[in-house]
Structure 1
């Protein structure tokens, strides 16, 4: 993978003639994870079928050290990928496969748990703002037991583009306006973009009609097909064979995630940090973890 340190200018917007509407808006559920990290869970287990291949989305955002300082000590994963996008702050990753890295503002950590990994994510700051997202992406049945894989991307590693409307996009995965993201996955074809939109700007993104998609503004407010979507709310986009993309209008200066992917249409069996296809495979994952086979 190559390093991308420049922004690609985009002369013309993507052609979207039949944009998707908002099917429903998710407010999210306040919760805590790890050693007490406070966060908002926007993609919960009851949405996994609707937003297949995505399994979970958490948003952590606080300038109170007590909300994040203990981080996420050693914990296991099997059967999916974790994608952590850091907006502000610093977090160190260590895992049982021997990987270690420092995730800083604007960077991404992409980890394929595969057959099993134990890792930790610990803040490297005593105060200040800690803000970012973690997205879980499912693995197809054929790849759930693959060897673990891990990669850190700094902000400079991630391809960027800028439209004539002044919208700046960081492309973590997928394809947008002729620019290819840092990561590609053939089976799920994920699109993951971080967008900065000036007030009154417009951004169009083509989407495969068969892919599930959602938008999360985390600053400002967007309008999608006339529907207002305020910061902190996740808009699930309606599917339709005749829909060719999405058009975002920024009511005010805004920042947002745009996520889409090809559904696997496979059974989902989940217990905590293990996501497989059958209950028997989950039982095996628990047994393997307890036996130290991760």
Structure 2
């Protein structure tokens, strides 16, 4: 079985979004090796001043978002009437489709906040479908404790570990994806099988890992090559997001919260939002 190796590394860079929320961002809107993913934002701070402004109401079209919190609480509200509280260890998925207007505001005002928002592209055939939303509390996230003590949490799709396939609660996405979180407090390893037709990436958010003899430290994204096997290890503490998905071989045009296939479609999205017909 061919083991995936690192093809390239991308370092996260400081940025801000919403009402001044500080984030570390990695994006690949026009990087075909990134597809079907578009962007990963890591929100991490021990100061409420860095996140208390949250993300007031704003629009999206043409994408899905998956938000996953390690610590800290956010409240989601959208034009469809959905209200969901994102708690420690929980996740929420939103498909913007043809249009959604939502807000994500912190409930806590003191203490550490650490989480991620992942943008996933939608194929052209699904960009104008109705919007949808689901949240997943911590107790429904699939978990597997390995013999070495490390923990695997599967949020979306399926992951096979030592012949056993574990299914995350999020199964119906615009394109098939697997998103998992591997956490280790001491020397440990993760060996799993991935769909060989999927592209795969690893975002290290704590400590450092080794992939086929190559080290990746926190704040870096490793884009992996082809293969079916995944073998990662750490000599100490580590936290890693695994993102794997079916690539979308279509043009990507990005403008703010809108991701479409042509500039004409972007202009139409802007016009629809301005005229109140986006949703």
Which residue, 188, 193, 196 being the options, matches 1:201?
Answer: 188
Q: Which residue in the other structure is 2:133 paired with?
A: 150
Residue 99 of structure 2 is aligned to residue 116 of structure 1:
yes
Matches within 5 A, 1:133-172: 133-172=116-155
Residue 279 of structure 2 is aligned to residue 292 of structure 1:
no
Q: Which residue in the other structure is 2:5 paired with?
A: 21
Aligned-residue RMSD, C-alpha: 1.4
- Contact residue 28 and residue 37 of structure 2 kept, 8 A: no
Residues of 2 paired with 1:214 and 1:252: CA distance? 21
Q: Flag structure 1 segments of 5+ consecutive residues without an equivalent.
A: 1-16
**Superposition misfits of 4+ residues, deviation over 2 angstroms:** 43-47, 162-167, 185-188, 197-200
- Contact residue 96 and residue 119 of structure 1 kept, 8 A: yes
Q: Which residue in the other structure is 2:210 paired with?
A: 223
Three-state SS of the structure 1 residue aligned to 2:268 is: helix
Three-state SS of the structure 1 residue aligned to 2:267 is: helix
Q: Deviations over 1:101-155 (max 9, x none)?
A: 1111100010011110111111111111111000011111111111111011110
Matches within 5 A, 1:187-266: 188-239=175-226, 243-266=227-250
Q: Which residue in the other structure is 1:87 paired with?
A: 70
- Contact residue 109 and residue 150 of structure 1 kept, 8 A: yes
What displacement does 1:84 show? 0.2
Q: Deviations over 1:249-280 (max 9, x none)?
A: 11212111111101011111111111111111
Residues of 2 paired with 1:187 and 1:114: CA distance? 9
Three-state SS of the structure 2 residue aligned to 1:220 is: strand
Residues of 2 paired with 1:139 and 1:245: CA distance? 26
- Contact residue 187 and residue 264 of structure 1 kept, 8 A: no
Q: Which residue in the other structure is 1:32 paired with?
A: 16
Choose 27-36 or 158-167, whichever is displaced more.
Answer: 158-167
What displacement does 1:46 show? 4.3
What displacement does 1:187 show? 5.6
Q: Deviations over 1:53-91 (max 9, x none)?
A: 001110010011111110011110001101000111111
What displacement does 1:245 show? 2.0
Three-state SS of the structure 1 residue aligned to 2:265 is: helix
Which residue, 182, 185, 208 being the options, matches 2:169?
Answer: 182
TM-score by length of 2: 0.94
How many residue pairs end up in the alignment?
A: 274
Three-state SS of the structure 2 residue aligned to 1:182 is: coil
Residues of 1 paired with 2:151 and 2:216: CA distance? 19
Three-state SS of the structure 1 residue aligned to 2:42 is: strand
Three-state SS of the structure 1 residue aligned to 2:182 is: strand
